[in-house]
Structure 1
Amino acid sequence: MKIQKILFSFALACFLLIGCKNEVKKEKLPVQKENVSLAISGMTCEIGCAKTIQSKLSKKEGVIDAKVVFTDSIANIAFDANTTSKEDLVAFVSGIAGGELYKASIAPKKVAHTCTEDCKETCQNKTTATETEKACCSVNEDGTTFCKEDCKMACCADKIAA
């Protein structure tokens, strides 16, 4: 009986020593949010492919938000750059389903188009604008005229060519 008490006391002491050991806590860095768009090839359906990729991406450590658009074959991902990287996300998506179905790459960024002031004035001046430019102009509820985004490029392209 005495041996059992000694063994029990020894086991309890070991448990307390091990259980009360100070754990080394990782320093938590503030979230460094970045966005990336990935072009994904190999998707054949919206439910089985796009939703599966989106679900797996959403569960990946460091991913803040993920949206997969099947019709465009694009994944728009917001992630914490302290935890993961663009290259890691490309490898992760390419590795889904054993790495044989999907291939991901970083989609090229769209360059924002800006019109010159001269082009904007021509578009807004309906009396001197061409018929194409007139079709591109709209009037807001407050009476101000503006160019529709896709027409700004056509208007500016005409000015550059001239």
Structure 2
Amino acid sequence: MMKFLKIFFVAAFVSLAMIACKSEAKKEEAQEQKTETLAEANPQELSLNISGMTCEIGCARKISSDLSKKEGVLEANVVFNDSIATIKYDANKTNKADLIAFVEGIGSGDMYKASETTKKADEKSCDADCKKECCTKTEAEKKACKEDCTMACCAETKKA
């Protein structure tokens, strides 16, 4: 009985080792293919204004998830509050018109409208009717230092 258990455990160990080696080889092969694909890629970036989103989880995440799975898309970021999607894609595999059509086809097909914009998801800007102090300042006023500021950038400005 003891010999049988030893033989069984040795056979199980050898089997597991072989399976683990095969899966590790597959991972390495997939990584090599991904590296080759990125080297051959023609990366481009597209910002889309998306109307029709009603929530962050159901809409923005769904669009981001679907875009991430689309062939040729390297990265997709959808910001619900700004209604902006920033998409990095391989121009060898897809194009702007295809990505816009893809976004508009998500859901029931008439739920979202997408159009190209120059604003990116991480850029902040003021609305035309914004009356907040930060929005009404000119660029020079925004960069001006306060009298009691002790930051290095202000110290250099005061010396000049």
Instruction: Place the TM-score, normalised by the shorter chain, in its bin.
Output: 0.5 to 0.7
For 2:108, which of 89, 98, 112 is the aligned residue?
98
Aligned residues: 98
The structure with higher relative contact order (CA 8 Å, sep 6+) is 2
Greater displacement, 77-86 / 96-105: 96-105
Given the alignment of the two structures, is residue 43 of structure 1 paired with residue 53 of structure 2, yes or no?
yes
The change in CA–CA distance for 1:95 and 1:133 in structure 2 (over 3 A counts) is closer
The change in CA–CA distance for 1:109 and 1:51 in structure 2 (over 3 A counts) is closer
What is the CA deviation profile of residues 114-153 of structure 1, one whole-angstrom value per residue up to 9, with x for unaligned ones? xxxxxxxxxxxxxxxxxx956641364252239xxxxxxx
Separation in 2, partners of 1:99, 1:107 = 21
Which runs of 5 or more structure 2 residues have no equivalent in the other structure?
1-36, 121-138
The change in CA–CA distance for 1:133 and 1:65 in structure 2 (over 3 A counts) is closer
Separation in 2, partners of 1:79, 1:42 = 23
What is the CA deviation profile of residues 32-57 of structure 1, one whole-angstrom value per residue up to 9, with x for unaligned ones? 10000001010000000000000000
For 1:76, which of 77, 81, 86 is the aligned residue?
86
For 2:68, which of 53, 58, 80 is the aligned residue?
58
The change in CA–CA distance for 1:141 and 1:95 in structure 2 (over 3 A counts) is same
Letter aligned with residue 157 of structure 2: T
What is the CA deviation profile of residues 49-78 of structure 1, one whole-angstrom value per residue up to 9, with x for unaligned ones? 000000000111000110000001000000
Separation in 1, partners of 2:142, 2:66 = 45
For 2:43, which of 33, 44, 57 is the aligned residue?
33
What is the CA deviation profile of residues 18-37 of structure 1, one whole-angstrom value per residue up to 9, with x for unaligned ones? xxxxxxxxxx7811100000
When Rg is computed on C-alpha atoms for both structures, the one with the higher figure is 1
Greater helix fraction, Structure 1 or Structure 2: 2
> Which SS does the other structure have where 2:40 is aligned?
coil
Which runs of 5 or more structure 1 residues have no equivalent in the other structure?
1-27, 111-131, 147-162
Separation in 2, partners of 1:57, 1:135 = 37
Q: Percent identity?
A: 52
Separation in 2, partners of 1:44, 1:52 = 12
Given the alignment of the two structures, is residue 137 of structure 1 paired with residue 144 of structure 2, yes or no?
yes
Separation in 1, partners of 2:104, 2:141 = 47
Give the aligned partner of residue 67 of structure 1: 77
> TM-score under structure 2 normalisation?
0.55
What do you get for the CA RMSD once the two structures are aligned?
A: 2.6
